[in-house]
Amino acid sequence: MSISSLTRTVAVGALLSLTASLVSAQDKPADHANSPSGAYEPSMTTLGQIKVEIPGRKPGDPVMTPSEYQTSNQIYFERCAGCHGVLRKGATGKALTTDITRPNGFEYLRDFITYGSPVGMPNWGTSGDMTDEQVDAMARYLLLEPAVPPEWGMAEMRDSWQLIVAPADRPTEKMNDIDIDNLFSVTLRDAGQVALIDGASYEIKAIIDTGYAVHISRISASGRYLFVIGRDALVNMIDLWMETPATVAKIKVGSEARSVETSKMKGWEDKYAIAGSYWPPQYVIMDGDTLEPLKIKSTRGMIFDTQEFHPEPRVAAIVASHYRPEFIVNVKETGKILLVDYSDIKNLKVTEIEAERFLHDGGFDSTKRYFLTAANARGKIAVIDTKKGELTALLDSEGETPHPGRGANLNHPVYGPVWATSHLGDDTVALIGTDPEGNPDHAWKMVQQLYALGGGSLFVKSHPTSNHLYVDAPLNPDAEVSASVAVFKVDELGQEEPEYTVLPIGEWAGIAEGQPRVVQGEFNQEGNEIWFSVWNGANLESAIVVVDDKTLEMKHVIKDERLITPTGKFNVFNTRGDVY
C-alpha cells in the first residue's frame, strides 16, 4: 500500500500497529499532514523569569497590570522567543515588532494566537495550551515594545563560574569500570539533568544535575570530559574518569544558549572550550580544563546581504575543525559562518563567511572536511570547506525548513557518498552529494528526494556500519506518526521507488498514558544498535527503546522513574569522532 493511499484511507493507525510494514516512499501524498506541533525551538529558559519593567507607556498602549505583564513575558520566552527572537525581530517565525503588530491590532493578534496558521504557527488557544485569559494578555503584550533582558558580560560570567574540582585534584587515571566509549549522555529535559547510561548493560551509571533542557552533549578530544549546555546557558564540565562521574566545573554564559564545543585540532586537544549564546548574542572561549572564561566576542552586526544592523544575531551550531585550529560558529540572523582561529586568542582572528540567514544546525561529511549546515528558514544548505576555510556551495534543499541535527552520511549505490537532512515543515528527505573528487558531477547537489512519514522531523541518523537511514517525526500532529520512525535501506536507494519500514517505537515502549513522541536516534559505538527516546510529559512515564540495526526489531526498553522527558542522546565515541 502506498503512503498516498494510506493517508487517503486514514489508515495510519492500522499500519503503525504492525511491527514492520513496507510503504512506498516516492509519491508525495497530496493530502499529507505536514504541519508540526508548536514545539519547534521552544525557548523554555530562565529569561522569562527575569523581572523586567513594563516598557514606557505611550498614548494608545493597552493596559496591562504588572502581574499580567510578567506572566506574558514568561509565556513569550517559553513559547515564542525561540522562533520570533528575544527582541521579536523574527527568525524562523515572523517579526513581532510594534510596527507590525499595532497596525494589525488586538483582535487580529488574539485570533492569530488562538487559531494559529497553516505554515507552522501553533493554535495556542484552540489546542488548550493557553487559556482565553492568557491569549488575551499575550495579544496586549505584543502591542507593547519588547522587553530587553540584561546583558551578560565577563563580570557576570566570572561570578557564575565554579571550579569545583581543580585539575590537580582530579584522578590521574580512570577510577571506574565504565566503558566510556560506549557510554550515552541522555538529556532529561524537564528535570534539568543528564543520565549517563552504559551502552552494553543499559544501566544508568549516574544522574547529574545540569542546566534546564540540555540542548547538546559534547566530548573533549581526549574522551575524558563531557560538556553539556542547557537552554538556560549553564555549562557543566563532567569528568568521566571519576569513580562516579560528576561535574568538576560549571559556568553560566548568558541567559539563553544552545551550543558548546571543545578544540579538536591535533596539538590543541582539550585546550579550549567554546559556548555560544542566544542571549546575549555572543560566544565565549574558555579554558578547556577549568571553564574559566577567557574571551567574549559579540555577534551583533550587519546582516550579510542587506547590510542592516541586527541587535540579536544568535549563535546556533558550533563545531570544531579537524583540519585547522578553528571553531566554526553559525550566526543565525546575520547569515554568517565564523571561522574562529583559537591559536592566539589574545590576537583573535575571525574569518566571516557570508552564507544565508537563519543558520541553525549541521554536521560534517564522512571525511570531516566539509561542514554542511542548514539555513532552515530559507531552505538552504551551506557547505564550508574547513581545510581551505571557504564557502564551497550554497544549495536549495527543496524542502520546507531543513532540520538535519548533524545529518547522516551514507554511501549511495548510485551517487556515492551523500549527506542527508530531513525537514521540519514537510515529509521530504534530501540527499546531497559530498564527493567532489570521486563523484564530481553529483557533488554539492541534491541528488535524490525521499518522502518519509510526514512533517515535524527533527533528526536523521545512520552509521558507517549500518545499511539504514532512520528518520523521526516527533513534531508531527498525528500521534501515531510522532511515535514512529521511518527506515530506508541504503542499498535500495537506487531503486525507482525505494520503500521504507515503519517502526512503531512508541508502541514498543508500552507506555499507557500521554502522547509520547519518538526523537533522535543514536547509535552505540559498534553501530549494531540504535537508541530512540520516547519523550512523554514531565509527569508521565517515558522510555528509551533500543533497536537491533540488523533486524529492525526491538531489542530492549529502558525504563526508570528517573528518566524524565528523555530527548537527546549522545554516544561518547560517536560524538567525539563526529561519526554519523
Cα angle: 217, vertex 84, 516; to 5 degrees: 50
Q: Is 80 a catalytic residue?
A: yes
Q: Is 157 a catalytic residue?
A: no
Q: If DSSP codes are grouped into helix, strand and coil, which group holds residue 82?
A: helix
Handedness of CA 198, 202, 205, 210 (dihedral sign): positive
517: number of CA atoms within 13 Å, CB side? 23
- The answer, yes or no, to whether the previous bond of 280 is cis (omega within 30 of 0) is yes
| CB of 239 closer than 8 Å to CB of 225 | yes
Q: Is 403 a catalytic residue?
A: yes
Write down the catalytic residue from 64, 80, 138, 286: 80
Based on its alpha-carbon atoms, the radius of gyration of the chain, rounded to whole angstroms, reads 23
Q: If DSSP codes are grouped into helix, strand and coil, which group holds residue 528?
A: coil
CA 348 vs. chain centroid, Å, equals 28
Q: If DSSP codes are grouped into helix, strand and coil, which group holds residue 5?
A: helix
| Residue linked to cell 522587553 | 147
**Burial environment of residue 580 by CB neighbours within 10 A (0 to 12, 13 to 18, 19 or more):** buried
Write down the catalytic residue from 32, 322, 360, 463: 360
61 CB neighbour count, 10 Å cutoff: 16
Which grid coordinates belong to 347? 590576537
| CB of 462 closer than 8 Å to CB of 450 | no
Write down the catalytic residue from 44, 64, 121, 157: 121
Write down the catalytic residue from 32, 44, 64, 84: 84
Residue 564: DSSP 8-state? -
Q: Is 121 a catalytic residue?
A: yes
Write down the catalytic residue from 32, 215, 322, 403: 403
Q: What is the largest CA-CA distance in the chain?
A: 68
Which grid coordinates belong to 367? 571525511
Of 92, 86, 214, 228, nearest in space to 151 by CA: 86
Reduce the secondary structure of 464-480 to three states and give it as a string.
CCCCEEEEECCCCCCHH
How far apart, in whole angstroms, are the C-alpha atoms of residue 580 and residue 573? Answer: 11
Q: Is 215 a catalytic residue?
A: no
How far apart, in whole angstroms, are the C-alpha atoms of residue 485 and residue 521? Answer: 9
How far apart, in whole angstroms, are the C-alpha atoms of residue 75 and residue 391? Answer: 39
Which grid coordinates belong to 558? 529502558
**Sequential DSSP letters for 162-223:** EESS-GGGS-SS--S---GGGEEEEEEGGGTEEEEEETTT--EEEEEE-SSSEEEEEE-TTS
Write down the catalytic residue from 83, 138, 242, 265: 83
Show which residues are catalytic. 80, 83-84, 121, 360, 403
